[in-house]
Structure 1
């Protein structure tokens, strides 16, 4: 596997310093989260993130060997799994708002 030359932290710094146009940020997503709920059964941890508008996403985490199960670690990984889903959804929402602000409108429908 060949990873990109830029580290995640370096990429975040570039975005913070040079990307001045509208964008989705970690904080902008967190500002929309109303609650985080967790369920654990001794091997799997589930995180339910509820947004203020009532929408929910679900993340999960399970170790390959249940002897490695740690509920706090599971909560972190399950939260991160759910949070990643919100990046795409919030990105789509922002792009749609920007597009609409340019005077565009939908021509068809589902």
Structure 2
């Protein structure tokens, strides 16, 4: 959970906003597994050494995070940096994971809204 999520969660709780909602814990609870790789890993991993010599250098800085949800659905996040000199693998993983988690918020938000809608029809 990011610092921003923690602050927002604390504010929600301090204001006693208790209607059905999602929490960072809810989002984390649906994640079964996670995988990280760069675009270079994807290209080189699928090619023999001779063919891999032609990959574009910029693939080294494009990081992917694949979150596998408990129901088997997969969500992909990505990150990249404009200046290759700024590339840091750990930061790339964190940013890609946050991107993927944001997509889970959307999916889970839709499911909750649909559930609340169905209860009221």
TM-score normalized by the length of structure 1 = 0.80
Structure number with the higher helix fraction is: 2
Which aligned pairs between 1:74-85 and structure 2 lie closer than 5 A?
74-85=92-103
Which residue of 1 is the match for residue 54 of structure 2?
A: none
Distance in 2 separating the partners of 1:89 and 1:16: 23
CA distance in 2, matches of 1:11, 1:33: 21
Deviation at 1:16, TM superposition (A): 2.3
**CA radius of gyration, larger in:** 2
Distance in 1 (CA, whole Å) between partners of 2:72 and 2:101 is 15
In 2, Cα distance between equivalents of 1:46 and 1:63: 13
The TM-score with structure 2 as length reference comes to 0.73
The DSSP-based 3-state class of the residue aligned with 2:32 is strand
Residue of structure 1 in register with 2:84 after alignment: 66
Aligned to 2:33: 35
1:25 aligned partner? 23
CA RMSD of aligned residues (A): 1.4
2:112 counterpart residue number: 94
SS in 1 for 2:35: strand
